[in-house]
């Protein structure tokens, strides 16, 4: 399911393939949690499009589904979220999480 | 100043974060004969780090003599370009300096995993104990509130020290917990940018042909415009067998745009001035990181009782549009933090007063001198005029200047500028005031 990039040289990389280039050492415990009840009343939802890893997914019932496994630990969601109590944010336990090689 | 509390701290200095600031601090403190723990939450130094790609190593002359013979470098930057983009135009100022390709060198491209690993090893060789895979989860304080160490996520993982040097990055939870951001106005998102980057593989000879390079020479292109109207900028630089391309986007601008960051980057990559440079390249790694871009006026307090702050944790980045510097400030600040900690410990006073030498060392050095001088630049660079109007204005002037439209006579430069200014909605008085601010900042 690849589409050709405008350069016509190489197929465009899907978001899934893009994330597959990054090494993650997933911790058992989620380092970020999302209170979907709070998110339900949020109209801004800056996290949904600002998160560079696209980890915030709106659900049919108006909530937010969040995956911590492929988190860059950048802090974007934590900084752009204006809804008190929507996010709890910490770093993954030592040695876990993203491990960049070409940063 | 009460005497140091008992029992004796486990270390003289606990450094949190093995980035350039932390490793420089640990190196300097260890060299002063102190016992030093260097905590790193990643499995290896650099695992959590991403940057705009160029490290300026001059400060290392003081810290690591002959550093260029040992530093893990991809390429020495001998070609530095500033590119102004509109949707269909590009105006590039392209500068080459052969001098930058030989010692003592100017700037280099490097991968953070390699660079940070090398710096941490220097600290270890000087006697510091690197403790990787360990997250500092909070501060330890005595009853008077003085910082006496950190909690970690290891079982029984309290780590005490006479001085804690917090180099825990842009989100610095330690500086926040210590209350050091109390006087910084506005939300952090208002002076923070998101950098997203792709490292794209190309054969070495293709990199060299395409960018006009030979040997270990490299090019760094810094870009204004090309971010779809979101305040920020872009960059493209060469590694040995890859190129790295990225955009830096103001968090508030990104939020307001409703556009995804990798889509902004995709737009830059498709620009006619950029696409040919990337043709056929294969994605090796996608990465993202926040950058503290507010400059001097958004820095936290850097000293408190028992604790110093350095690097991104202290907002020591100049990273707005065409300026992308940070590792050099981190190295300098870390070195001064290590030095100030050693002096305070030797004098037996690690209170805020005893550690005040740190601020003095920073003030007397490029770290705070540069930031103070350029304090107005972040606001200017993120202004609508610089972001939206000036690249277009300058591209239009260049296009008018170079367009041959015979038999019509060529218009004069004054006419070209006034036409372009009108078309791009720039008023002369704004142009003058921005020019004045720039001139005053860079004088």
* Cβ atoms of residues B112 and B49 within 8 Å: yes
Q: Which of A10, A50, A98 sits opposite B280 (nearest CB)?
A: A10
Q: Which residues of A touch B50 (CB under 8 A)?
A: 100, 103
Cα separation, B236 vs B119, whole angstroms: 25
DSSP-derived letter for residue B385 is I
pLDDT at A3: 44
pLDDT at B383: 84
Cβ of B283 within 8 Å of Cβ of A102? The answer is no
pLDDT tens digits, B42-96: 999 999 999 998 999 999 999 999 999 999 999 999 999 999 999 999 999 999 9
Cα separation, B110 vs B103, whole angstroms: 17
SS3 B338: helix
* Cβ atoms of residues B342 and B198 within 8 Å: no
ipTM confidence: 0.94
* Cβ atoms of residues B248 and A65 within 8 Å: no
Mean pLDDT of the residues in chain B: 94
C-alpha dihedral sign at B311, B313, B318, B319: positive
Cα separation, B167 vs B149, whole angstroms: 14
Interface check A85 vs B, CB under 8 A = no
Q: Which residues of B touch A94 (CB under 8 A)?
A: 41, 132-135, 152-154
Instruction: Report the residue of B20, B45, B48, B252 to disrupt the A interface, i.e. the one with the largest count of A CBs within 10 Å.
Output: B48
Whole-structure pTM value: 0.95
Alpha helices (H) in B81-191, listed in sequence order? 112-125, 173-177
The predicted model gives B114-120 an average pLDDT of 98
pLDDT at B322: 64
pLDDT at B134: 98
Cα separation, B68 vs A77, whole angstroms: 38
pLDDT tens digits, B391-432: 999 999 999 999 999 999 989 999 999 999 999 988 888 888
- Cis preceding linkage at B407, omega within 30: yes
The predicted model gives B167-184 an average pLDDT of 97
- Residue B344 C-alpha, separation from nearest chain A C-alpha, in angstroms: 30
CA angle B419/B422/B427 to nearest 5° reads: 120
Helix, strand, coil proportions of chain B in percent (round to 5)?
40, 25, 35
- pLDDT tens track, chain A, 103 positions: 344 444 445 567 899 999 999 999 999 999 999 999 999 999 999 999 999 999 999 999 999 999 999 999 999 999 999 999 999 999 999 999 999 999 9
pLDDT at A11: 61
Instruction: Report the residue of B72, B87, B113, B153 to disrupt the A interface, i.e. the one with the largest count of A CBs within 10 Å.
Output: B153
pLDDT at B2: 53
Give the model's confidence band at B381: pLDDT under 50 very low, under 70 low, under 90 confident, else very high. confident
pLDDT tens digits, B212-248: 999 999 999 999 999 999 999 999 999 999 999 999 9
| B442/B176: higher pLDDT | B176
| B208/A8: higher pLDDT | B208
* Cβ atoms of residues B61 and B69 within 8 Å: no
pLDDT tens digits, B246-274: 999 999 999 999 999 999 999 999 999 99
Cβ of B43 within 8 Å of Cβ of A17? The answer is no
Residue B137 has pLDDT above 70, yes or no: yes
* Cβ atoms of residues A80 and A48 within 8 Å: no
Instruction: Report the residue of B189, B252, B278 to disrupt the A interface, i.e. the one with the largest count of A CBs within 10 Å.
Output: B189
- Residue B366 C-alpha, separation from nearest chain A C-alpha, in angstroms: 25
Q: Which residues pair with B90 in a beta bridge?
A: B85
**Residue B418: burial class (beta carbons within 10 Å; 0-12, 13-18, 19+):** middle
pLDDT at B71: 98
SS3 B19: coil
Cα separation, B59 vs B361, whole angstroms: 14
CA distance to A1, A71, B153, B247, B431, per residue, from A19 (Å) = 16, 10, 27, 17, 43
Q: Which residues of B touch A13 (CB under 8 A)?
A: 283
Which of A35, A31, A25 lies closest to A81 in space, CA to CA? A35
Q: Which of B112, B154, B192 sits opposite A103 (nearest CB)?
A: B112
Element spanning B359, H or E: helix B357-363
Residue B328 has pLDDT above 70, yes or no: yes
Cα separation, B107 vs B54, whole angstroms: 6
DSSP-derived letter for residue A4 is B
């Amino acid at each position: 399911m690849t589409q050709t990039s405008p350069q016509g040289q190489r197929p465009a990389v899907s978001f899934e393939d893009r994330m597959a280039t990054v090494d993650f050492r997933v911790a058992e415990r989620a380092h970020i949690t999302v209170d979907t009840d709070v998110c339900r009343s949020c109209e801004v939802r800056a996290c949904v499009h600002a998160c560079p890893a696209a980890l915030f997914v709106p659900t049919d019932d108006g909530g937010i589904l969040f995956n911590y496994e492929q988190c860059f630990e950048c802090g974007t969601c934590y900084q752009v979220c204006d809804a008190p109590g929507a996010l709890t944010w910490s770093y993954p336990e030592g040695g876990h999480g993203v491990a960049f090689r070409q940063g | 100043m009460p005497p140091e509390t008992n029992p004796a701290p486990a270390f003289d200095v606990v450094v949190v974060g093995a980035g350039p600031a932390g490793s420089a601090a640990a190196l300097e403190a260890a060299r002063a004969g102190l016992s030093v723990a260097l905590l790193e939450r990643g499995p290896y130094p650099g695992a959590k780090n991403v940057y705009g790609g160029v490290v300026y190593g001059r400060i290392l002359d003081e810290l690591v003599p002959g550093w260029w013979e040992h530093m893990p470098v991809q390429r020495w930057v001998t070609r530095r370009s500033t590119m102004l983009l509109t949707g269909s135009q590009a105006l590039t100022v392209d500068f080459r300096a052969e001098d930058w390709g030989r010692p003592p060198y100017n700037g280099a491209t490097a991968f953070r995993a390699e660079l940070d690993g090398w710096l941490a090893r220097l600290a270890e060789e000087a006697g510091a104990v690197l403790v990787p895979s360990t997250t500092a989860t909070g501060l330890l304080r005595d009853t008077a509130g003085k910082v006496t160490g950190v909690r970690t996520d290891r079982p029984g993982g309290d780590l005490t020290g006479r001085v804690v040097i917090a180099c825990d990055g842009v989100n610095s939870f330690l500086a926040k917990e210590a209350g050091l951001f109390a006087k910084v106005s506005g939300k952090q998102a208002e002076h923070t940018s998101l950098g997203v980057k792709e490292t794209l593989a190309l054969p070495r000879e293709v990199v060299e042909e395409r960018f006009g390079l030979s040997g270990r020479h490299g090019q760094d292109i810094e870009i204004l415009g090309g971010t779809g109207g979101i305040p920020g900028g872009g960059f493209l630089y060469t590694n040995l067998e890859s190129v790295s391309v990225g955009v830096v986007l103001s968090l508030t601008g990104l939020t307001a745009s409703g556009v995804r960051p990798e889509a902004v980057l995709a737009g830059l990559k498709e620009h006619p001035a950029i696409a040919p440079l990337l043709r056929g390249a294969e994605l090796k790694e996608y990465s993202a990181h926040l950058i503290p871009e507010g400059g001097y006026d958004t820095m936290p307090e850097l000293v408190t009782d028992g604790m110093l702050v350095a690097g991104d944790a202290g907002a020591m980045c100049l990273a707005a549009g065409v300026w992308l510097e940070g590792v050099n400030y981190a190295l300098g600040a870390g070195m001064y933090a290590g030095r100030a900690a050693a002096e305070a410990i030797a004098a037996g006073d690690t209170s805020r007063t005893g550690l005040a030498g740190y601020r003095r060392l920073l003030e007397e050095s490029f770290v705070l001198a540069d930031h103070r001088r350029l304090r107005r630049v972040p606001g200017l660079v993120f202004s609508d005029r610089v972001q939206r109007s000036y690249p277009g204005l300058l591209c239009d002037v260049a296009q008018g200047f170079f367009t041959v439209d015979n038999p019509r006579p060529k218009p004069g430069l004054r006419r070209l500028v006034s036409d372009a200014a009108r078309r791009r909605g720039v008023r002369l008085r704004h142009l003058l005031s921005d020019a004045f601010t720039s001139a005053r900042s860079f004088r």
